Structure 1
Amino acid sequence: MRTRLTLRAWGVLAGSVALLVAGQLLGYPLLQVLAGAGLAVVLVSVLTVVRRPKVVVERVLYPDRVECGQPALARLLVRNESTRRQPAFVAADNAGPHQSEVAVAALAPNGVATYHYELPTSRRGPVAVGPLVLRRSDPFGLVSCRVSIGSAATLLVHPKRYAVRTATGIRQRHHFEGPVSAGPLRGSIDLRRLREYVPGDEVRHVHWKASARAGRLMVREYVDPDQPRLQLVLDTRTSALTAGQFDTAVSVAASILVVAAQSGQRLRLTTPCGTDHDVQAVSDLLDELAKLEQSATTNNPLEALPVTRDGGALVVLTGAGLADLPNLRSSYRPVVYIDLTHDEQAFHTAAGVHVIHAHSAQSAVDAWNAVPA
């Protein structure tokens, strides 16, 4: 807790001392009385404010993950657990560079009050919220008291997503027992991951060694190795995209990948700064894209791509020309190159590569939706 005198209080103190000295020198008792009154006001103000608010304050973010531009709120629950009336105070909460102030009214004994305030969601990325700062001041504005309570929380702002169609032109999804349309494909020979057992799983898929280490039943999850695959390369180099263009690229990547995941395609996300993994869940994907930052690396974003007979579709989001793209046609089909540094929207095919030029996320998505199957 930190208590301090305001500039007004220092002015009152200085004036009171001056009146006291003048009263002594000039022999005017009235000046001495005024000086005493000024000093008494400052002392009473200190005694009024110095007591810490005896309240319990809880802040909850809902939701704690939100798409860029969508509303997110903080709920402030204030409880007076004492048997005395609690004076009013101000609760200040920082959310990134933005500060919200809530005027908490006086609470009766055992009283409860709830307040809501908006959080900024205009920029993608994690937003540090808190800790809360409670402020009290006297009616004359002479003394202020500040105390920090609680812990900081994090609001994760996911990239904005646009309506896109699923990548087409890839091998059609199938299963050895017959064609299917949606849902994970299990029972094939491609091990996707280990997960916790749920009622209905095949007992023969239980992984006993992993179960012994984890202390609970773990099963192998299999998928059809021939279901459609989508490889997306997101260029994080500062030399390729500006900060604004990079945020645009992340939004386009999120739009394409989320729709592909919902349609049952297997996804892989690769960046020059070291990100290279298969996407297992949409929520994890969006969390990673929200935290993704640019890097000063000079690595070629295509260097880490595996060379296979049928790698599925390849989408490259960048602002720099990549001469190796035509050489990847033997491993990936189709190959789509999205350049986000142009002022006008354009689409053409060169050396078997679909090339999209765009200046915004919406124009890139519109061109993507127009790519022939």
Structure 2
Amino acid sequence: MGITARGVGLLVAAVVLLGVGFRYAYPELTVLGAAAGVAVGYALVTAAWRPRLTVERVADPDRVARGEPAAMVLTVRNTGRLRAANLLAEDRCGGRLVPVPVLRLRPGRDTEVRYPVPTRRRGVVPVGPLRVTRRDPLGLVALARSYGEMVPVWVHPRIHPLSAVPTGAGRSLDGRVDSVPHGSITFDSLREYVVGDELRRVHWRTSARVGELMVRENVDTSLPRLVVVLDNRAAAHPDRDAGVAESFESGCEAAASVVAAAIREDLPVSLLVVAPAPEEPAGGTDGSGSPRRGGHAGLEAPRDPLDRLAAAELADGGEDVLRAALTRLRQDRLGDTLVFLTGPGARGDLGHVGALRGAYPSVVVGMFGAPEPTAAGVAGLVVVDAADGAGFAAEWDGIRRW
């Protein structure tokens, strides 16, 4: 509860008038002081009345791509029975306040407000709670209360269509790594039976036709598994415009594009960040969005990798943080194709990324916002220089060597 400047002035006047009236026996001043005190007391009682309101909000939709329209539908209902609610209300939407008309809201009635949610920037936009201010008729006292819960609107990075996808990598017993078509354990050829072959591999129809036992020879063709690593270190994205690192935003768009292309092709994909926040899982998420380990703090856990990209932020960390992340990648060997997305500040760290080529047969680096092209063949990597997410998509489809 807060007393306004008018209320403070009237309260001081009441004290002064009462003191002077009693001290010098002026009944007129005493009456005026008493009236001022009664007015302040009435204001306190009036503002302390708590209206019975229920607040419901629905995001339409609650997940959008950057720049797409989104709206919040807010319904305020007066569940009281005695009097109408004469209030001032504001709903918090991101960093701005939206006025909500609840003047003379009768008992049992409701009012609905629909307003746009800003989606110009990627991120999680918190909407709510509704802040209701109760004032007395004289404007002496104001009391603000919150109603309803906070609801997030997830603004995903833009997705740029990618037509090319990596091929899988099959490892033979002699240690060679060969590119193979998409698939799993598949038929390759038939050969004559030798002692020790499993009978379940005998191809009985062919054996009956040729008159001797023939067995199937299979080849292990593994599905390509993509590992997308987003470098969210502030040191990797030093250039800012109004506090926003456009190279990092472009990296988020590229990560979303690769993840979406992998899901479209039913390929396993993992998404990780170099410097996870304390509440984020250190192992990232798989293609379904489930955390590998750990949890996520906030209003709502991310449903999929796009949610995680919407919530991604720059974090402190230098070369030691990158080394720790690359060590985990080398130990875990999460896939056969690694896509590392970073900014101009990490150009000197590409040698560390190139050291992963022993664990990952294909390593592609997306470099965003660099003032000049990256030297060809740096650490034996495939480097894609791009100004933004759309440029990355165009260059990605032109990659001939995975």
What TM-score comes out, normalization by structure 2 length? 0.66
Equivalent pair of 1:78/1:113 in contact (CA under 8 Å): yes
Residue 49 (structure 2) aligns with: 51
Q: 1:290 aligns with which of 298, 310, 321?
A: 310
Equivalent pair of 1:90/1:136 in contact (CA under 8 Å): yes
Q: 1:77 aligns with which of 75, 78, 84?
A: 75
The Cα of 1:177 is off from its aligned counterpart by 8.0
Equivalent pair of 2:60/2:71 in contact (CA under 8 Å): yes
Residue 236 (structure 2) aligns with: 240
Equivalent pair of 2:124/2:311 in contact (CA under 8 Å): yes
Equivalent pair of 1:64/1:156 in contact (CA under 8 Å): yes
Equivalent pair of 1:162/1:365 in contact (CA under 8 Å): no
The Cα of 1:29 is off from its aligned counterpart by 5.5
Q: 1:318 aligns with which of 305, 321, 342?
A: 342
Letter in 1 for 2:182: R
Q: Tell me which structure has the larger Cα radius of gyration.
A: 2
CA distance in structure 1 between the aligned counterparts of 2:34 and 2:334, rounded to whole angstroms? 90
Q: Which moved more, 1:317-326 or 1:19-28?
A: 19-28
Change (3 A) 1:371 1:81: same
Paired residues, number: 325
Residue 279 (structure 1) aligns with: 287
Q: 2:62 aligns with which of 24, 49, 64?
A: 64
Q: Which moved more, 1:363-372 or 1:81-90?
A: 363-372
The Cα of 1:123 is off from its aligned counterpart by 4.3
Residue 270 (structure 2) aligns with: 268
Report Cα offsets for 1:164-218 as digits up to 9, x if no partner. 313345244346789xxxxxxxxxxxxxxxxxxxxxxxxxxxxxxxxxxxxxxxx
The Cα of 1:112 is off from its aligned counterpart by 1.9
CA distance in structure 1 between the aligned counterparts of 2:68 and 2:166, rounded to whole angstroms? 33
The Cα of 1:136 is off from its aligned counterpart by 1.0
The Cα of 1:342 is off from its aligned counterpart by 0.8
Q: 1:166 aligns with which of 163, 167, 173?
A: 163
Equivalent pair of 1:249/1:340 in contact (CA under 8 Å): yes
Paired residue secondary structure (2:143): strand
- Which ranges of structure 1 fall in alignment gaps of 5 or more residues? 179-223
Residue 253 (structure 2) aligns with: 251
What TM-score comes out, normalization by structure 1 length? 0.71
Equivalent pair of 1:272/1:299 in contact (CA under 8 Å): no
Change (3 A) 1:23 1:241: same
Paired residue secondary structure (2:351): coil
Paired residue secondary structure (2:7): helix
Paired residue secondary structure (2:182): coil
Q: Which moved more, 1:22-31 or 1:94-103?
A: 22-31
CA distance in structure 2 between the aligned counterparts of 1:23 and 1:249, rounded to whole angstroms? 74
Letter in 2 for 1:285: P
Find out whether 1:335 has 2:331 as its counterpart. Answer: no
CA distance in structure 2 between the aligned counterparts of 1:310 and 1:147, rounded to whole angstroms? 50
Paired residue secondary structure (1:66): strand
The Cα of 1:8 is off from its aligned counterpart by 0.8
- Which ranges of structure 2 fall in alignment gaps of 5 or more residues? 168-179, 188-219, 239-243, 276-281, 291-302
Residue 388 (structure 2) aligns with: 360
Equivalent pair of 2:350/2:378 in contact (CA under 8 Å): no
Change (3 A) 1:77 1:270: closer
Letter in 2 for 1:292: A
Q: Which structure: greater helix fraction?
A: 2
Equivalent pair of 1:345/1:364 in contact (CA under 8 Å): no
Identity of aligned residues (%): 33
Equivalent pair of 1:344/1:358 in contact (CA under 8 Å): no
Q: Which moved more, 1:120-129 or 1:47-56?
A: 120-129
CA distance in structure 2 between the aligned counterparts of 1:310 and 1:69, rounded to whole angstroms? 33
Aligned-pair Cα RMSD in Å: 3.7
Report Cα offsets for 1:235-268 as digits up to 9, x if no partner. 2334333472334322221122112211222212
Report Cα offsets for 1:30-49 as digits up to 9, x if no partner. 55554444334333333332
CA distance in structure 2 between the aligned counterparts of 1:291 and 1:143, rounded to whole angstroms? 40
